Structure 1
């Protein structure tokens, strides 16, 4: 076999391949064998029809077509290896010559990874939010915990903010009660904003047995988006009672003996959360600066496929689970389809560019992924996908996605290398140490590439 490679542009090549006919022998034999199992010729046992009879009855052309289809992937792979190119996606193959007994010639055009030059990135500087937990933050956290332990008791008075009311609802559009517009014994906390717009004003001031009518735009159901006349009847009013903030509450709501210990633990947890947010912010900003430094030619076919994949995943996975279509989603977002496609293209370009640059860094820095690192990443991805580790591992193995997970971890390690070399300071001017944040870096890479939300989906 002879092959040559021609660079069409920085991201696409054309392979020209010539194969002597004798190299098709194995594929020809396989073609005759396959056809033998599929056809019946009177006078011959199934599977024992001579090649000359197959040629006469079904045509040599059918055999050649079967043989070429069988052989092309092997010859294409050999040509790719010989040319030392890194193909992206499937090639466009064109058979230019097929002479029976003499020659098979074909061309294959395919997108390839562009050559990337990564400049010195040690000069990257970014500023991130400082980790600051105020007394107000701690008080808010404790108050949220206190809310979870609130109790209710019936009261004989008009409903007011914070009360829990038991209500019946009936919604009409154009004077007709909607088939899904009736609900009974609904428990609602006034001021929570969990039901219809306008309901708080309607029920405040009502005692048990009272009712009111108001107009509200429906947020779901058969008449979603339409204005409805809603009648609300209050059957019970209950006051919410919060426990006293003391040591008894700390023992009730936590493993701590005193309120001071509970508050100290709340402060520590808030600090950890803000440190995580700070690390993520630093990695995102360092990555953005790195992307600005590197020129990356964009493979057009790969970009088109990535845009279509993102659009498909949004429409058929994310929106489908919410009962929305793309048109309704764009209406809610206040975007035109052109704006949506422009944003999707921008995100896809960033994802592809991120992968190319970090993959180049993985090779340059000779970064390996250990079994322990891969297992830890698999457990985290399983948790984010709502699957058990065993289920997720099985799905990954069956889908041939293990190399994808290895790539994600490796690129996270590459980003961590860049972050460690960069200068990261907080808004107080303090230097931030992010040397132990490879896991967070992997999550940042996933977000940039658009893979995190697709953990359990086929890509």
Structure 2
């Protein structure tokens, strides 16, 4: 095999690969063995026609397609490896010379991973946002705990008030015609929760127990259902029951009932501590993202469109998987959100470009800084994955993960160490 390589344009390489005549002859024989049963020649049983007779009767060309495939499968990967190129897409194959008894020559034009020109990536100054825990945040969590532990008392008489729970029957009409999905029975609606559209809940305030009232609202323009978007609607609503939500007092007794603490002060301190821990994780994550954005902004890369499209493909597969866990599929999701596959792909494109560029930059920094993953670090990463499975035999599971996904784990470790290196070499300016 002989290979000539030339760069035809940015990120595009053309390989001219010559396969020796004897190797091409072997490929023709393999093609004959694969296809001989397909041909019928008078005087010979099907599948027993000699290759010489087959060539005379049908022509050698009938064996070319598979012979070409055999040659390309055998030589293209070797040519790629010998020339140290990293294709990011399938090659475009063109035949230069094909004839029995002669060398087989073909070209493979392929898009390759782009060159990354790093700018400054050490000694940068990046803003780091600081998040403080305030009393309002603590109170918000306490109120949520009160809500979860509230009791509901039925009002024997009176009208619907803000904060009440109105148990209602409702039926919606557009132009005096009932629409699909606009009906409900004994629905518990908390007034002021913002569950229903527009001022539906506010219009219910003052309605008496057992009273039927007409409520007029407009559906939002982007409601998600074409037949309802922006349409005015009338609902006939009957109040079947009114409930008052009673919240428990915020005191030491409350703390004992809802937590492992004896006093409200201890519960508050625990909420603050957990909120602070969450804030610190958020600060760390956002600072890492800001550092990567700064490093990427200084780098120059001509990213092939095919790499972006492949990243979008992966994002679409991830979306489909998440929807399946919720019992949905893509078509239902498109209908509900008034979307199409192309709209989703267009929406994802910016993030896909950012992801591809970040990955390429991290890979280049890791290469320049000679970042490597040790066997111990790979095993440790496998242990983290094994713990997620909840398997008791974590050590054994980790070993299996290393065997099956060792290269992926190695890549993850190198990326994490590279991000750590960049963060450690960036000066934070706190806000």
TM-score range, shorter chain: 0.7 to 0.9
Q: Which residue of 1 aligns with 2:128?
A: 128
Q: Which residue of 1 aligns with 2:18?
A: 18
**CA-CA distance at 1:311 after TM superposition:** 6.9
Q: Which residue of 2 aligns with 1:373?
A: 381
Compared with structure 1, are the counterparts of its residues 23 and 378 closer, same or farther at alpha carbon in structure 2 (3 Å cutoff)?
A: farther
Mapped partners of 2:322, 2:276: distance in 1: 35
What is the DSSP-based 3-state SS (H/G/I as helix, E as strand, rest coil) of the residue aligned with 2:184? strand
Question: Structure 1: which 5+ runs fail to align?
Answer: 331-335, 384-392, 428-459
* Preserved CA contact (<8 Å) 1:17 1:105: yes
Mapped partners of 2:345, 2:131: distance in 1: 35
Counterparts of 1:23-38 in structure 2, within 5 Å, are 23-38=23-38
Residue deviations 1:3-55 (CA, integer Å, cap 9, x gap): 11111234111111111111224422321111134445565455443212332
Counterparts of 1:156-167 in structure 2, within 5 Å, are 156-167=157-168
1:411 to 392, 412, 415: 415
Q: Structure 1 residues 48-57 or 237-246, which shifts more?
A: 48-57
Q: Which residue of 2 aligns with 1:180?
A: 181
* Preserved CA contact (<8 Å) 1:90 1:110: yes
**CA-CA distance at 1:77 after TM superposition:** 1.1
Give RMSD over aligned pairs.
3.2
TM-score by length of 2: 0.84
**CA-CA distance at 1:126 after TM superposition:** 1.2
Q: Which residue of 2 aligns with 1:277?
A: 282
Aligned residue pair count: 406
Question: Structure 2: which 5+ runs fail to align?
Answer: 324-328, 391-396
Compared with structure 1, are the counterparts of its residues 14 and 47 closer, same or farther at alpha carbon in structure 2 (3 Å cutoff)?
A: same
Mapped partners of 2:418, 2:307: distance in 1: 23
Mapped partners of 2:412, 2:228: distance in 1: 41
What is the DSSP-based 3-state SS (H/G/I as helix, E as strand, rest coil) of the residue aligned with 1:131? coil
Q: Which residue of 1 aligns with 2:394?
A: none
Q: Which residue of 1 aligns with 2:393?
A: none
Whether 1:286 and 2:291 are equivalent positions in the alignment is yes
Compared with structure 1, are the counterparts of its residues 325 and 183 closer, same or farther at alpha carbon in structure 2 (3 Å cutoff)?
A: closer
**CA-CA distance at 1:120 after TM superposition:** 4.6
**CA-CA distance at 1:117 after TM superposition:** 3.7
Mapped partners of 1:412, 1:40: distance in 2: 62
Mapped partners of 1:325, 1:402: distance in 2: 41
Q: Which residue of 1 aligns with 2:69?
A: 69
Whether 1:253 and 2:258 are equivalent positions in the alignment is yes
Greater gyration radius: 2
What is the DSSP-based 3-state SS (H/G/I as helix, E as strand, rest coil) of the residue aligned with 2:153? strand
**CA-CA distance at 1:262 after TM superposition:** 1.3
Q: Which residue of 2 aligns with 1:351?
A: 355
Compared with structure 1, are the counterparts of its residues 402 and 91 closer, same or farther at alpha carbon in structure 2 (3 Å cutoff)?
A: farther
TM-score by length of 1: 0.79
2:330 to 316, 320, 325: 320
Q: Which residue of 1 aligns with 2:304?
A: 299
* Preserved CA contact (<8 Å) 1:30 1:67: yes
Whether 1:201 and 2:202 are equivalent positions in the alignment is yes
* Preserved CA contact (<8 Å) 1:5 1:15: yes
Counterparts of 1:203-242 in structure 2, within 5 Å, are 203-218=204-219, 219=223, 223-225=227-229, 226-242=231-247
* Preserved CA contact (<8 Å) 2:312 2:349: yes
Mapped partners of 2:97, 2:177: distance in 1: 72
Q: Structure 1 residues 48-57 or 156-165, which shifts more?
A: 48-57
Mapped partners of 1:179, 1:115: distance in 2: 56
* Preserved CA contact (<8 Å) 2:378 2:406: no
* Preserved CA contact (<8 Å) 2:217 2:234: yes
Compared with structure 1, are the counterparts of its residues 141 and 320 closer, same or farther at alpha carbon in structure 2 (3 Å cutoff)?
A: same
